[in-house]
Amino acid sequence: MSLSSLYDVPKGKTILLVGTPGSGKSVFCQQVVLSNLAAYKPIIFITTEYSSFEAEKALKEKGLGNTSHGLLNFIDAYSETVGLPLPDRPDIINANCGNLTNLSILITKLHRKIGKQSSLLVFDSLTSPYILNGSQVVLFLKLFLSKFASEGNSVFACFDEGSGKSEDLVSLMSLCNGIIKIDFVEDKKVLNVVKHPKIEPTKIEVPLVAPPLTSFHHFDMNYRKRDLKLAMGASISTLRPMVGDFINIAWRNLVFWSGMLWDPKRFPAMMYDVTKYTNNPSNMNIDVVALLPMYQRGLFRLFMPKNFSKVKNMKKLFGMGKKQSLDWNSGIVEFLEDKSKTDEHHVRFSESYECWGFNNVGATLGFMKPAQTVGILAGWDNRVRDWNVIELKCIGLGDPYCEYKLVPEEIDELRDSLEKNSTTIENVNALIKDHILKFLLHGKPLMERPTLGSDVHMHELQQVTAAPLASEQLIMIFRLGGAKAGKMLGEHLMKAGLGEEEAVRRLIDFMNHCKVGKVTIDETIRIFENSERFGMKTKEPSCYFTTGFLNGFFYAVKNHHVKETKCIGIGDPYCEWDFK
């Protein structure tokens, strides 16, 4: 059986495509659109994870030519949701995928405009509405999409496996007439037709070509040099003169774990790989040691080991095994000499900013700081080995501290340990939400560590927020993660009975308290020294999380669309957002 046979969606039926994030569902949806356009079938193409312009560009790259007027119609449910400029074209309707009622109305109006002929609704994807609305998406499929199909139309939708409760995915699949699952087997992509109104259960194999790993360097060179000098103990002035170099852990965790919602399987692995790669001194395009004063350079080259196989050598890297606070206030580290041996080293990490406040959520949680460590090891080890790290104990498992194992080789269990199930992600996000709402509503303190307090260096946030500059997938994740977080906080403040202006005031106070930057609001929102892009260079406004967050919040509180118009990443003196 050919792959093209799956592009035909029978009249009156609903087909669901299920697969992990990055498995190629969007490409499949685009092929469904092209195949049905060739048959002169009217299409309503709904995008929730990329803009209608990106969808059109992808279709043209795959062969889309000029289409008859009214044949291809877009509902862009992404741009308005995450705070991007809204398309202004008669064939594009803007929507917020957090509002399912309005989305139903827009689909109905557009179908009536098309006329009485049968239409194909392609929904790429249901994941974003699900994460913003939860199990209401099941009702949306049951009460609207299935009904839309039964009226003589057809529906093709996709959903990310692992991005929600398993019982909700089962419910979605039970409501559909056809189910196609995408799986990976070695170097092949396998499309498994579980059920279909016209096709017997079967499997189709497609060769898989992995994209090459590419590097990225988006920090301003002068900023990076100053940052590295501070990290290595140099006495220089603060990087952010207005608000200082530290941010509250709550903001860092809000950014990171909002992203985890969208891609629980690949997101942590992508962040681990990117962090390890970019912290390898050989990938920095800077001689880190050369930044030190001359006498420190000499001491470093004299005493720093050439490789880290032996316990005594690794002990030197961790301050001769003494328990000590790490730079950037990230935690208290202790090298465990008695548990370590050649090419297997153990480190205890207390009060980790990644795990603190998430006691006993059922999983290990810390890997960004450890990934930084093995990146440095890989660069300084003259034997050029691929160092890796895995967490053996964690506050998230109920332990009183975290403990890591570092080895100069692959770790078989590492990838599985990085993946987080939906229950763990929901538990962590619920704890973050609880801390922030108690602060917003009752003035309660945010997460506080007994020795190190509540702040961590903004560098630990930038290890997260720099990553999207290397990946379109991560850009989408952070935009939608921000929209989810902002919408959630806005809705809770309104349910608590706060007026619109009071809710906005408390949000601005929260962001200033967290030292996101210096935040002001009048006709626009301005953030000076915004931690998301401070010290970085980009070609366009790129505060992906902050824009999504503000847009989600103001949509929930005031029904306003927020758009970033200025960004320090492109050289503006501050980041600024307009309202619409």
Mark whether 285 and 403 lie in a shared domain: yes
Mark whether 272 and 398 lie in a shared domain: yes
110 vs 91, which has greater pLDDT?
110
Exposed, middle or buried, 95 (CB in 10 Å: 0-12/13-18/19+)? buried
Sheet harboring 345-350: ordered strands across? Answer: 324-325, 332-335, 345-350, 402-407, 388-393
Look at residue 177 and tell me whether its pLDDT is greater than 50. yes
Question: In Å, what is the CA distance from 318 to each residue of 258, 333, 347, 405?
Answer: 32, 8, 9, 14
Look at residue 161 and tell me whether its pLDDT is greater than 60. yes
Establish if 452 belongs to a structural domain. no
Look at residue 230 and tell me whether its pLDDT is greater than 90. no
Establish if 249 belongs to a structural domain. no
Mean pLDDT of the region 49-76: 86
Mean pLDDT of the region 53-59: 93
Report the share of the chain in percent with pLDDT over 70: 89
Neighbours of 31 (CB within 10 A): 18
Establish if 548 belongs to a structural domain. yes
Look at residue 223 and tell me whether its pLDDT is greater than 80. no
Establish if 89 belongs to a structural domain. yes
Establish if 196 belongs to a structural domain. yes
Biggest CA-to-CA distance, the chain: 81
- Among 14, 54, 51, residue whose Cα is nearest residue 32: 14
Q: Domain of residue 330: give its range.
A: 265-420
Mark whether 340 and 404 lie in a shared domain: yes
Residue-level pLDDT at 548:
95
CA distance 375 to 377: 5
- Lowest pLDDT segment from 170-174, 257-261, 322-326: 322-326
500 forms beta bridges with none
Look at residue 442 and tell me whether its pLDDT is greater than 80. yes
The one-letter amino acid code at 559 reads: N
Question: In Å, what is the CA distance from 411 to each residue of 55, 147, 317?
Answer: 38, 49, 22
Look at residue 235 and tell me whether its pLDDT is greater than 70. no
Q: What is the DSSP letter of 401?
A: S
pLDDT band of residue 21 (cuts 50, 70, 90) is: confident
Buried b / exposed e over 560-578, threshold 16 CB at 10 Å, is ebbbbebbbbeeeebbbbe
Mark whether 187 and 271 lie in a shared domain: no
Residue-level pLDDT at 124:
96
- Lowest pLDDT segment from 11-15, 219-223, 233-237, 368-372: 233-237
The DSSP H or E segment spanning 456 is: strand 455-457
Mean pLDDT of the region 52-79: 87
Mark whether 478 and 366 lie in a shared domain: no
Exposed, middle or buried, 399 (CB in 10 Å: 0-12/13-18/19+)? middle
CA distance 85 to 89: 12
Mark whether 326 and 201 lie in a shared domain: no
pLDDT band of residue 213 (cuts 50, 70, 90) is: very low
SS3 content of the chain, % helix, strand, coil (to 5): 45, 20, 40
Mark whether 86 and 20 lie in a shared domain: yes
180 forms beta bridges with 17, 193
Residue-level pLDDT at 214:
47
CA distance 70 to 76: 16
Mark whether 186 and 279 lie in a shared domain: no
Please report, for the domain that includes residue 547, its CATH number: 3.30.1380.20
Asked if residue 125 has a cis previous peptide bond (ω within 30° of 0), the answer is: yes
- Lowest pLDDT segment from 52-66, 197-211, 471-485: 197-211
Mean pLDDT of the region 413-442: 93
Residue-level pLDDT at 356:
94
Please report, for the domain that includes residue 124, its CATH number: 3.40.50.300
Mean pLDDT of the region 139-168: 94
Q: Using the 3D structure, point to which of 420, 437, 458 is the last residue of a domain.
A: 420
Mark whether 272 and 369 lie in a shared domain: yes
Mean pLDDT of the region 461-483: 88
Q: Using the 3D structure, point to which of 173, 190, 207 is the last residue of a domain.
A: 207
Mean pLDDT of the region 275-304: 67
Mark whether 283 and 414 lie in a shared domain: yes
Rounded to two decimals, the pTM is: 0.89
Look at residue 68 and tell me whether its pLDDT is greater than 80. no
- Among 78, 95, 35, residue whose Cα is nearest residue 59: 35
Establish if 344 belongs to a structural domain. yes
The full DSSP string for 203-253 is EEEEE--PPPP-----B-HHHHHHHHHHHTT-----S-TTT-SEEEHHHHH
- Among 98, 95, 118, 117, residue whose Cα is nearest residue 107: 95
Look at residue 85 and tell me whether its pLDDT is greater than 80. yes
Give pLDDT tens digits for 178-209.
Answer: 999 998 776 788 899 999 999 999 998 877 65
Mean pLDDT of the region 143-167: 94
Question: In Å, what is the CA distance from 419 to each residue of 270, 403, 440?
Answer: 11, 18, 31
CA distance 199 to 458: 54
Question: In Å, what is the CA distance from 381 to each residue of 47, 106, 213, 521?
Answer: 46, 59, 21, 49
pLDDT band of residue 215 (cuts 50, 70, 90) is: very low
Q: Using the 3D structure, point to which of 207, 226, 244 is the last residue of a domain.
A: 207
Ramachandran region, residue 40 (left: φ > 0; alpha: ψ -120 to 50; beta: rest):
left
Residue-level pLDDT at 1:
59
The full DSSP string for 5-70 is GGG---TT-EEEEEE-TTSSHHHHHHHHHHHHHHTT--EEEEESSS-HHHHHHHHHHTT-----TT
Mean pLDDT of the region 227-256: 80
73 vs 319, which has greater pLDDT?
73
Number of structural domains found in the chain: 3
Query: What's the whole-number average pLDDT of the chain?
Result: 89
Look at residue 88 and tell me whether its pLDDT is greater than 70. yes
Residue-level pLDDT at 225:
64
- Indicate the angle between helix axes 422-442 and 249-260, nearest 10 degrees: 140
Mean pLDDT of the region 416-422: 90
510 vs 319, which has greater pLDDT?
510
Of 225-229, 256-260, 502-506, 537-541, where does the model show the most confidence? 502-506
CA dihedral 396, 398, 403, 405 (to 10 degrees): -70
- Lowest pLDDT segment from 12-21, 47-56, 68-77: 68-77
Please report, for the domain that includes residue 407, its CATH number: 3.30.1380
Establish if 158 belongs to a structural domain. yes
Mean pLDDT of the region 263-290: 79
Mean pLDDT of the region 144-155: 96
Mark whether 413 and 477 lie in a shared domain: no
Mark whether 188 and 42 lie in a shared domain: yes
Establish if 246 belongs to a structural domain. no
